[in-house]
């Protein structure tokens, strides 16, 4: 028996069972869900930092979408917030590295 004790993507239990194994799962309450999403975000960021893989970036975005969903914020609402911040402070496209301020 392999123990995971972690939040997984929705189709993982189906994938496990298609391999002839049994997936033991439970549905998290809202507090547990948010806590596990935060752990998953840390895990995915760590994995991305190790290998700079685009698939890991996709995982990070999916976790962020999960967090937004748990906060009842739509992707469109989030994009509006993100765009407002870009308008106020800019993005990271110009590669500016601030060394100091006097």
Residue 94 lies in a domain: no
Residue 37 lies in a domain: yes
Residue 36 lies in a domain: yes
Confidence of residue 44 (pLDDT cuts 50, 70, 90): very high
**Span 71-89, mean pLDDT?**
98
Residue 15 lies in a domain: no
What residues contact residue 38 under an 8 Å CB cut-off, 6+ apart? Answer: 67
Counting the structural domains of the chain, the total is: 1
Rounded-to-integer distance, Cα 79 and Cα 37, Å: 20
Domain range holding 33?
29-89
Report the predicted TM-score, pTM, of the whole model to 2 decimal places.
0.87
Residue 64 lies in a domain: yes
Residue 3 lies in a domain: no
Residue 12 lies in a domain: no
Rounded-to-integer distance, Cα 62 and Cα 37, Å: 10
Residue 81 lies in a domain: yes
Average model confidence (pLDDT) for the chain? 97
């Amino acid at each position: 028996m392999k123990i995971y004790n972690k939040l997984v993507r929705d189709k993982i239990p189906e994938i496990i069972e298609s391999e002839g194994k049994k997936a033991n799962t439970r549905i998290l309450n809202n507090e547990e869900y948010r806590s596990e999403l935060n752990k998953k975000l840390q895990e995915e960021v760590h994995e991305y930092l190790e290998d700079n893989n685009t698939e890991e970036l996709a995982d990070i975005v999916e976790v962020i979408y999960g967090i937004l969903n748990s906060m009842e914020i739509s992707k469109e609402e989030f994009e509006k917030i993100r765009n407002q911040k870009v308008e106020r402070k800019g993005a990271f496209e110009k590669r500016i590295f601030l060394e100091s301020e006097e």
